[in-house]
Amino acid sequence: MSKSDSELIDNNVDFGSVLAAARKTKNHTVDDVCKHLKIPGEVIIAIESNDIENLPAVTFTQGYIRSYAKFLEIAEEPVLQIYNRAVPHALATDLKSRSNLPDEASSQTPLIKSITILLMLAGIAALIYGGFQYYQEKADDIEVEFESKERSFTGHSLDSAGEHQLTIKQNARLSNDGELIVATNEAVSESTVSESTAESLVEQEIAEMSAQDEAEQSIVASDVIEIFAESGSWLQVRDATGARLFYNMISVGGAERIEGVAPFRVSLGNADTTRVLVNGIEVDMTAIIRPNNTAIYTVSTDEQRIVFH
């Protein structure tokens, strides 16, 4: 505040005259003040005229005077003190200094509150979605392990018949009255089966099991799956027998050629930059790539086309 402004305030007991004089010194019109401060013209005129009766409530008037003084670049407090002396003492109050940024948004406005709530909801939704994706991947891994165990289970227990079932025959029939009659004079009767016959049955069963195992072992790996990882990838491949053919990382730009029996069960990462070929035919993974850039699927070929299982 300049010396002339200080003298102007000190020599006046009229708050309106101080503001009017300062306005004229700055070469501002009442319209200029109205447009800048967004205060009605009649309020500006009432302030400069010290027309307390036509001014709004004390609190509002104090705010107008403070804004007016800031606009005119004169000290606010001395002008407010002159106004406070002019109004009834019980109504005079001091206002706290407001922010120097009049357009600064309050954190308590409805808009800010709404944005904050939306951001919180979006964060919660992201956490729920991420958790769902994580557990879905875990479920797929468990499914792969379960399929492997299911294929390797022989069923040689009392709870499951498995692949190799023992057929137990008895010479039995139903009578005309619906009663079950079991013959006791046949060789298969438990009481009359000789030790040599029992050994023969066991040897026959063992021979059948051995023959089937040899047939399974004689399956020749006739299919080929090739993986080309441009950005590197983690990879797991199982074949139709349930055997895990590959379980490791592929380096950037690396490739793997794996032989086995299709269909292949494939799990891989960096799916969008990894190529997979089965028997020389490229697999289009566009529709099965997950949001986390992984892919899990079972695939084989039929003549010259890819088949998903």
Q: Which residues of 197-220 are buried (b: 16+ CB within 10 A; e: fewer)?
A: eeeeeeeeeeeeeeeeeeeeeeee
* Residue 139 predicted with pLDDT over 60: yes
Q: Identify the helix (H) or strand (E) that includes residue 139.
A: helix 110-152
Q: CA-CA distance, 97 to 22, in Å (whole number)?
A: 21
Mean pLDDT of 141-147: 68
Q: Which fold has domain 3-86?
A: 434 Repressor (Amino-terminal Domain) (1.10.260)
Report the pLDDT value the prediction gives residue 117, as an integer from 0 to 100: 93
Q: pLDDT > 90: what percent of the chain?
A: 54
Contact between 31 and 41 (Cβ < 8 Å): yes
Among the listed ranges 176-185, 278-287, 294-303, which one has the minimum average pLDDT value? 176-185
* Residue 42 predicted with pLDDT over 70: yes
pLDDT band at 236 (very low <50, low <70, confident <90, very high): very high
Mean pLDDT of 272-298: 96
* Residue 280 predicted with pLDDT over 50: yes
Average pLDDT across the chain, whole number? 79
| Residue 285 CB neighbour total at 10 angstroms | 17
141 vs 92, higher pLDDT: 141
Q: pLDDT > 70: what percent of the chain?
A: 67
For residue 229, give the DSSP letter.
E
- Domain chopping of the chain, boundaries: 3-86, 223-308
Which of 285, 288, 286 has the alpha carbon at shortest distance from 276? Answer: 285
For residue 162, give the DSSP letter.
-
Mean pLDDT of 217-245: 89
What is the helix, strand, coil percentage profile of the chain, to 5? 45, 20, 35
> Which residue type, as a one-letter code, is found at position 266?
V
Tell me the whole-structure pTM to 2 decimals: 0.33
